[in-house]
């Protein structure tokens, strides 16, 4: 063994026994050899003498790479040597008398690599330099199995590397493929097909694996060769014989089915195609699908039947003649029963293709009215197929009920799998609505009558069909309950399935009832049944926590929809929910499973929606609300009692309890409107104020517990919504506590609360704002970095994301202040110290911030401040130095330099909106600053950007003439684009 062979063996070693330095040295040595001019000769010599497969593979890989890279620079003699040598290897010949090794005796991966080298040569040399390659190969097939196998590998590699359109190809590759196919069609393809036929005839009984290889090659080539070479009595007869004789291995029979499938899929004129499909006599294979439901053969035959059906359907769509339509219909009627059988009885990979075909078939029925008896039969069979396919496998029943990891995976898989089937169901529902409703009714009736424990999956499927069917119904149909709906929905409501304790059945039952809620709006006599379904053990009182949680949410949605119609049932509902509500009125009732989640809040929201209506008498409303709020507030007070001296281990449980209570009260308040609690029934408002008073104490007792601060902030948001200005007396204490020791995330939440107050009350919150703004500005300017946020690896931390969010919220806060006539807040005696850093921040963001919407907001802030603080061109300055700051810092940097930057992309919609604001602010500056602005902007800013004099003059004229904003925007964009083109490098654009 010489050094090269040793180096190759070391470089391929994966055992870990070889030292990494030695391995690197070996790889380097191999690379060095690869770069020598005589590398092709070295490789071919090794291929003749080395029996080591690693060496053979390395040499073939090396030849492949060298041919691809250096072929055009090789001389004629070297090319000839490589051609003859590689061809000899592929044909099991000796390169010379000393040739001791035959590469074709090696493993499959070596032969595949040799085929790849052959294909590379074919790409460069066929047909111009080496026109006889295929004919020469054919003459060597008589040597037997080993050469025939190699010939198949070469054909397959040619398809994969060059011809097949299943892979993306460059234009050059497409041109080479076209050249090769044209030459093969003209010169040798009929001989290749004849060879395939002879090989199959000769080896079908003795070497099925070889026949499979031949059929695989043939299947690939059918799409572009003359179809008459294959689609004839002799060849099709042979293929059907290979498929139908039970003595042949399944793999061979399946490969023959693949070839027939390729013939059926051949792209042709629809009329000729239909004749071809008719000639295939596909009925011969129908019996094969019943042989062994999950065999490889059944999968191949299923694929053939699906492909054949799809092609017939396509012909039917493209042919206009009555004869063509009749033949297509006849062929489809013949094949469809087998397709349905496959879907319902066989384990196959073709389900998606079959569903796509069935969807296409149902689509063609839309224009046919009425359906024929056969078509109606097919529609019924399609519905049967859908039902059988959407059933869960009983093997997963326990996993799905407990929803463990396996159950979750199966549920997700099935949800994805069902999507296309439910689309198909809706299509069938539109084509044959009566038949579909009858089918769903019978499925549901069968499920109702069945043994629930045995047929959990059947019941779940029947309910899922009814649920999915609802998606295709119009609101009108849903309300009136036309057809069988009027029978179906009451049947659903009055049923308690024996397997209702199963999670999947319970969930789909509740979802289905909710889906048909519009029916109950019109048919109110069924409301008691609806309430029972949600309030008994089928819903909120279901033993499975997942089901009861979902039932709570769906019940809240139902209450929203039926609302006023539920007033007569309020007492009944509240009585049924007593135990659920009690979970929140008993200290430490919150279980570990519930901790931190909000499933209870949906019940309180539903109750709030019910008792918060004006239809409920004031006395009753007060009674209901007191019964809920009093124990909840008492529980909070009890939890806060001696909180600072409590056992640290008890604290997390108490905090969780308090969180749950705040969420419950918050949800409850959503049912009450501002008009009701402040105007028509102030006594109700007083109850919420007292509650707010209790909950604000949480901030004093637990000042640093972030989840509690967030929940209390959320409650204050709600109270602002419903209590209106009467919430003001509570705000100073609340805001003071929330602002104290707040982290960036909490501070951002605090600013959102202030934004809500400003948007709701405008200048009404001026005093409050003047009090808190200095503290906010101080915190923000201390927390936010003075320069840009870091970028690159390690910069996307939670801490940096929170700071970025705080910065964005702060810009919004400043924008809200400026645009709600509150800019005087910035000028109060306590706030003056923060005016300069604020201005610097806004200028920098208006020019550089990555978020275009933030930049737009900052420009809009300047527009409002200029309008508020600059009375007239020559009036007294309200804010000394502001005018010159705007012209020197803002106008030049934002209105000129930032838009000259190439990163300012005019084709982006948001950027164009920002540009509109930048143009508008110039108009505002001219109105407020007069000629001072023009002199500064034109003589200093535009001049520094080398703006031509004529353009500068036109700019002045446009502003002075008071051009409309659209015309000014158009002119200024052309000016900027002109300056970009003229840029000479002396001005550095950021």
* Tens-digit pLDDT profile for residues 534-574: 999 999 999 998 999 999 999 999 999 998 999 999 999 99
| Cα–Cα nearest to 90, from 113, 62, 67 | 113
Contact (CB, 8 A) for 297 and 257 = yes
Q: How confident is the model at residue 268, as a pLDDT? A: 92
Q: Are 564 and 535 in contact (CB under 8 A)?
A: no
Taking phi over 0 as left and psi of -120 to 50 as alpha, with beta for the rest, 642 belongs to: left
- For the residues 144-166, what does the mean pLDDT come to? 95
pLDDT in tens, 833-852: 999 999 999 999 999 999 99
User: Residue 347 pLDDT > 90, yes or no?
Assistant: no
Positive or negative, the Cα torsion across 588, 590, 595, 598? Answer: negative
Give the count of beta carbons closer than 10 Å to the beta carbon of residue 498: 15
- Integer Cα distance of 897 and 848 in angstroms: 10
pLDDT interval class at 589 (50, 70, 90): very low
Q: What is the pTM of this model?
A: 0.79
Classify residue 129 by its DSSP letter. T
Band (pLDDT 50/70/90 cuts) for residue 292 is low
Peptide bond into 370 cis (omega under 30): yes
- Both tokens of 795, joined, read 């910069």
Q: What is d(CA 660, CA 551) in angstroms, rounded to the nearest whole number?
A: 18
Q: Which of 488, 484, 475 is nearest to 521 (CA)?
A: 475
Q: How confident is the model at residue 742 (pLDDT cuts 50, 70, 90)?
A: confident
**Residue 945, pLDDT score:** 86
pLDDT at 100: 65
Percent of the chain with pLDDT over 90: 68
DSSP string, 902-966: TTS-TTSHHHHHHHHHHHHHHHHHHHHHTHHHHHHIIIIIIHHTT--HHHHHHHHHHHHTT--HH
Q: What is the CA radius of gyration of the chain?
A: 40
Q: Which of 642, 643, 640, 644 is nearest to 632 (CA)?
A: 640
Q: What angle do CA 730, 735, 739 make, to 5 degrees?
A: 160
Query: pLDDT tens, 388-435?
Result: 999 999 999 999 999 999 999 999 999 999 999 999 999 998 899 889
Q: How many other CB atoms are found less than 10 A from the CB of residue 648?
A: 6
Share of the chain above pLDDT 70, in %: 94
Domain ranges of the chain: 36-225, 597-730, 742-788+796-830, 833-850+861-989
What would the DSSP string read from start to end of 689-756?
HHHHHHHHHHHHHSTT-HHHHHHHHHHHHHHHHHHGGGGGGGHHHHHHHHHTT--HHHHHHHHHHHHH
Closest Cα to residue 464, out of 514, 422, 412? 422
Report long-range pairs for 693-697 (Cβ below 8 Å, ≥24 apart). Answer: 693/730, 694/633, 694/636, 694/637, 695/636, 695/662, 695/665, 696/730, 696/733, 696/734, 696/737, 697/636, 697/637, 697/640
Q: Which pLDDT band holds residue 960 (cuts at 50, 70, 90)?
A: confident
pLDDT at 895 over 80: yes
Give me 655's structure tokens.
């905090």
- How many CB atoms are located within 10 Å of the residue 637 CB? 11
Neighbours of 620 (CB within 10 A): 13
Q: Are 600 and 584 in contact (CB under 8 A)?
A: yes
- Give which of 354, 332, 255 is closest to 297, Cα–Cα: 255
Question: How far apart, in whole angstroms, are the C-alpha atoms of residue 465 and residue 467?
Answer: 5
Mean pLDDT across the stretch 722-750? Answer: 89
**Cβ-proximal residues to 308 (8 Å cutoff; 6+ apart), any chain:** 261, 264, 277, 280, 282, 335
* Residues 6 or more apart whose Cβ sits within 8 Å of residue 502: 397, 401, 456, 460
Neighbours of 229 (CB within 10 A): 18
Confidence band of 370 (pLDDT split at 50, 70, 90): confident
Whether residue 596 is predicted with pLDDT greater than 50 in this model: the reply is no
User: Distance (Å, rounded) from C-alpha 173 to C-alpha 124?
Assistant: 11
- Rounded distance between C-alpha atoms, residue 559 and residue 526, angstroms: 14
List helix spans (H) across 13-101.
Answer: 20-34, 39-49, 53-70, 76-90
Q: How confident is the model at residue 452 (pLDDT cuts 50, 70, 90)?
A: low
Mean pLDDT of 17-35: 89
Q: Are 255 and 301 in contact (CB under 8 A)?
A: no
Q: Residue 167 gets which letter from DSSP? A: S
Distance CA 123, CA 34 (A): 22
Confidence of residue 599 (pLDDT cuts 50, 70, 90): low
Asked, as a colleague might, if the bond just before 48 is cis with ω within 30 of 0, I would say no
Residue 650 pLDDT > 70: no
Question: Per-residue pLDDT for 230 more than 50?
Answer: yes
Across the range 918-940, mean pLDDT stands at 91
Instruction: Say how far apart CA 670 and CA 472 lie, in whole Å.
Output: 32
Helix (H) or strand (E) holding 652: helix 651-669
pLDDT reading at 639 higher than 90: no
Instruction: Inform me whether the pLDDT recorded for 863 exceeds 90.
Output: yes
The HSE-up count of residue 768 (CA atoms within 13 Å, CB side) is: 22
pLDDT above 90 for 192: yes
Mean pLDDT, the chain, whole residue set = 90
pLDDT of residue 847: 93
Inform me whether the pLDDT recorded for 628 exceeds 90: yes
Tell me what pLDDT residue 874 has.
65
118 has a pLDDT exceeding 50: yes
Closest CA to 181 of 217, 216, 231, 223: 223
The single-letter DSSP state of residue 75 is -
Model pLDDT for residues 121-153, shown as the tens digit of each residue: 999 999 999 999 999 999 999 999 999 999 999
Is it the case that residue 868 has pLDDT exceeding 70?
yes
How far is Cα of residue 405 from the mean position of the Cα atoms in its chain? 22
Residue 826 has pLDDT above 90, yes or no: yes
pLDDT in tens, 486-522: 888 998 998 888 888 999 999 999 999 999 999 998 9
């Amino acid at each position: 063994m010489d050094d090269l062979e040793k180096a190759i063996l070391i470089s391929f070693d994966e055992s870990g026994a070889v030292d990494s330095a030695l391995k690197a040295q070996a790889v380097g040595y191999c690379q060095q050899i690869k770069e020598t001019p005589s590398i092709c000769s070295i490789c071919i010599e090794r291929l003749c003498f080395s029996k080591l497969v690693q060496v053979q593979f390395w040499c073939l890989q090396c030849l492949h790479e060298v041919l691809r890279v250096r072929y055009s620079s090789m001389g004629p003699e070297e090319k000839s040597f490589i051609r003859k040598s590689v061809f000899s290897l592929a044909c099991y010949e000796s390169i010379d008398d000393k040739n001791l090794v035959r590469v074709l005796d090696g493993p499959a991966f070596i032969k595949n690599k040799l085929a790849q080298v052959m294909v590379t040569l074919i790409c460069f040399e066929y047909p111009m330099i080496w026109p006889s390659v295929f004919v020469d190969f054919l003459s060597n097939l008589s040597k037997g199995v080993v050469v025939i196998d190699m010939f198949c590998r070469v054909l397959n590699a040619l398809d994969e590397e060059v011809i097949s359109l299943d892979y993306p190809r460059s234009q050059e590759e497409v041109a080479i493929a076209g050249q090769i196919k044209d030459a093969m069609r003209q010169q040798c393809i009929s001989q290749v097909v004849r060879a395939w036929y002879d090989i199959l005839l000769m080896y079908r009984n003795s070497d099925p694996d070889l026949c499979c290889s031949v059929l695989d090659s043939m299947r690939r080539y059918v799409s572009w060769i003359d179809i008459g070479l294959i689609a004839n009595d002799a060849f099709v007869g042979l293929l059907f014989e290979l498929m139908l004789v039970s003595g042949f291995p399944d793999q061979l029979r399946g490969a023959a089915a693949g070839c027939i499938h390729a013939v059926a899929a051949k792209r042709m004129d629809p009329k000729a195609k239909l004749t071809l499909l008719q000639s295939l006599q596909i009925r011969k294979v129908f019996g094969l699908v019943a042989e062994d439901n999950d065999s490889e053969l059944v999968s191949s035959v299923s694929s053939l039947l699906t492909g054949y059906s799809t092609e017939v359907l396509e012909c039917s769509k493209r042919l206009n003649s009555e004869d063509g339509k009749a033949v297509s219909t006849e062929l489809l009627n013949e094949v469809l029963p087998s397709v349905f059988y496959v879907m319902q009885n066989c384990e196959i990979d073709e389900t998606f293709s079959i569903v796509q075909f069935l969807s296409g078939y149902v689509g063609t029925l839309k224009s046919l009215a009425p359906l024929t008896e056969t078509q109606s039969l097919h529609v019924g069979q399609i519905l049967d197929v859908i039902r059988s396919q959407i059933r869960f496998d009983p093997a997963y029943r326990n996993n799905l009920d407990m929803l463990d990891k396996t159950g979750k995976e199966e549920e997700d898989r099935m949800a994805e799998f069902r999507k296309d089937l439910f689309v198909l169901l809706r299509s069938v529902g539109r084509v044959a609505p009566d038949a579909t409703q009858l089918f769903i009714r019978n499925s549901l009736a069968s499920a109702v009558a069945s043994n629930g424990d045995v047929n959990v999956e059947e019941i779940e499927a029947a309910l899922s069909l009814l649920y999915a069917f609802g998606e295709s119904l119009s609101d009108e149909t849903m309300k009136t309950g036309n057809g069988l709906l009027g029978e179906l929905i009451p049947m659903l409501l009055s049923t308690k399935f024996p397997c209702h304790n199963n999670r999947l059945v319970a969930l789909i039952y509740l979802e289905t009832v909710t889906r048909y809620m519009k029916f109950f709006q019109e048919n109110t006599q069924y409301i008691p049944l609806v309430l029972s379904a949600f309030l008994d053990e089928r819903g909120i009182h279901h033993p499975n926590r997942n089901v009861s949680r979902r039932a709570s949410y769906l019940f809240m949605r139902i209450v929203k929809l039926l609302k006023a119609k539920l007033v007569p049932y309020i007492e009944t509902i509240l009585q049924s929910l007593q135990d659920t509500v009690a979970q929140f009125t008993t200290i430490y009732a919150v279980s570990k499973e519930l901790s931190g989640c909000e499933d209870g809040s949906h019940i309180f929201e539903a109750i709030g929606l019910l008792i918060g209506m004006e239809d409920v008498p004031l006395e009753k409303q007060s009674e209901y609300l007191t019964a809920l709020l009093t124990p909840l507030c008492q529980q909070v007070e009890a939890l806060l009692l001696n909180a600072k001296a409590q056992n640290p281990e008890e604290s997390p449980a108490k905090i969780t309890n308090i969180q749950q209570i705040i969420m419950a009260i918050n949800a409850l308040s959503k049912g009450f409107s501002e008009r009701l609690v402040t105007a028509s029934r102030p006594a109700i408002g007083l109850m919420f104020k007292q509650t707010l008073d209790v909950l604000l104490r949480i901030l004093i007792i637990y000042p640093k517990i972030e989840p509690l601060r967030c929940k209390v902030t959320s409650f204050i948001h709600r109270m602002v919504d419903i209590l209106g200005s009467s919430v003001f007396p509570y705000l100073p204490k609340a805001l003071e506590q929330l602002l104290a020791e707040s982290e960036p995330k909490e501070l951002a939440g605090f600013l959102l609360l202030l934004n809500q107050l400003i948007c709701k009350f405008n200048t009404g919150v001026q005093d409050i704002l003047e009090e808190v703004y200095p503290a906010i500005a101080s915190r923000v300017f201390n927390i936010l970095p003075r320069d840009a946020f870091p970028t690159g690896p390690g910069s996307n931390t939670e801490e940096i994301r929170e700071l970025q969010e705080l910065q964005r919220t702060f810009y919004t806060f400043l924008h809200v202040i400026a645009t709600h006539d509150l800019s005087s807040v910035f000028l109060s005696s306590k706030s003056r110290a923060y005016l300069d850093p604020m201005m610097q921040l806004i200028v920098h963001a208006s020019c550089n911030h990555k978020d275009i919407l933030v930049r737009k907001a900052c420009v809009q802030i300047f527009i409002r401040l200029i309008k508020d603080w600059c009375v007239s061109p020559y009036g007294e300055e309200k804010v000394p130095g502001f005018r010159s700051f705007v012209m020197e810092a803002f106008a030049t940097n934002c209105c000129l330099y930032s838009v000259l930057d190439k990163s300012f992309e005019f084709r982006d919609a948001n950027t164009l909106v920002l540009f509109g604001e930048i143009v508008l602010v110039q108009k505002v500056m001219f109105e407020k600053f007069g000629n001072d602005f023009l002199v500064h902007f034109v003589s200093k800013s535009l001049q520094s950007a080398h703006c031509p004099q004529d353009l500068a003059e036109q700019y002045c004229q446009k502003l002075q003439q008071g051009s409309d904003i659209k015309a000014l925007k158009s002119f200024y964009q052309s000016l900027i684009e002109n300056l970009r083109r003229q840029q000479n490098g002396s001005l550095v654009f950021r």
